[in-house]
Amino acid sequence: MPSQRQLAKELGVGISSLREALQSLQALGVIEMHHGEGTFVSDNPHRIIERVLGLAFLSETLDWQALFDARTVIEGGLARFAAKRTTDDQIETLTATVSQLKLAIQQGDQKHADELDVAFHHLIAEMANNPILMQLRNSLDPALERLLRNIPHTLEGWKLHANVVDALRARDPARSEEAFRRLIETTAAWYRDYCATPASQTARAQDPSSAQVLSATSALEHN
């Protein structure tokens, strides 16, 4: 980009006003400013979505149902492409991940189950071999992880993950997309139910960010 003085002149604004605007764009991830080097347009466009979602999260204005809807469309599409493009080695890795997830749930190791769940979703995104969809999916990750980290993993949930693996192993695009859609929609329903439980009240007290999430969801449910 042009220097700040040149850009201010071209836009007809004061240098202080321009700097404030540039700082706001940098906070959103649209541009990157490097001292002594200049200002550059970001080469990671998915960070823009991530930052906007983060700001909405903090201000309690994020529509969580819309977030789940977006996840359904993006990850359902990734599952469809993954069924067409995955390799045998990737299927084996995914199968092992889901087996480890079941063991972690049975042992009550929720932290490890969280890590395996994240790995499961990343693996399927890699199988799809579509960098644009993967970037969009990755942009949702921070908000989704903050949303879901207090919900306990269950064997019922594990079975939904296993159904996705079975569909992918069969190389069935429609079945894979539907299995993933069912997984996400069920997770959304569990989250809404969780918000009404005493456990959610404990999460509010222990984790301020969880309190923001739950408060925002409660407001949405009463609108």
- Give the residue with greater pLDDT, 77 vs 151: 77
Note whether 39 and 84 are same-domain residues.
no
For residue 54, tell me if it sits in a domain. Answer: no
| Mean local confidence (pLDDT), 96-108 | 97
Q: Looking at this protein, which amino acid is placed at residue 124?
A: I
Note whether 8 and 105 are same-domain residues.
no
Q: How many CB atoms lie within 10 A of CB 202?
A: 12
**Across 29-43, 105-119, 120-134, 145-159, least confident range:** 29-43
Torsions phi, psi of 205, nearest 5?
Answer: -70, -35
Report the CATH number that the domain containing residue 152 is assigned in CATH: 1.20.120.530
Note whether 29 and 73 are same-domain residues.
no
| Mean local confidence (pLDDT), 58-70 | 70
Report the CATH number that the domain containing residue 16 is assigned in CATH: 1.10.10.10
- Give the residue with greater pLDDT, 1 vs 170: 170
Note whether 146 and 37 are same-domain residues.
no
What crossing angle do the helices spanning 208-221 and 173-194 adopt, rounded to 10°? 100
Cα(197)–Cα(195) distance, rounded to whole angstroms? 6
- The count of structural domains within the chain is 2
Note whether 105 and 171 are same-domain residues.
yes
pLDDT at 25 over 70: no
For residue 53, tell me if it sits in a domain. Answer: no
Tell me which residue range forms the domain holding 130. Answer: 63-221
Helices (H) and strands (E) in the chain, counts: 11, 2
Rounded CA Rg of the chain: 21
Note whether 19 and 95 are same-domain residues.
no
Note whether 32 and 67 are same-domain residues.
no
Note whether 111 and 167 are same-domain residues.
yes
For residue 51, tell me if it sits in a domain. Answer: no
Torsions phi, psi of 204, nearest 5?
Answer: -60, -40
For residue 56, tell me if it sits in a domain. Answer: no
Give the pair of three-digit tokens for residue 192: 């809404």
Note whether 201 and 100 are same-domain residues.
yes
For residue 75, tell me if it sits in a domain. Answer: yes
| Mean local confidence (pLDDT), 17-33 | 69
Cα(102)–Cα(119) distance, rounded to whole angstroms? 14
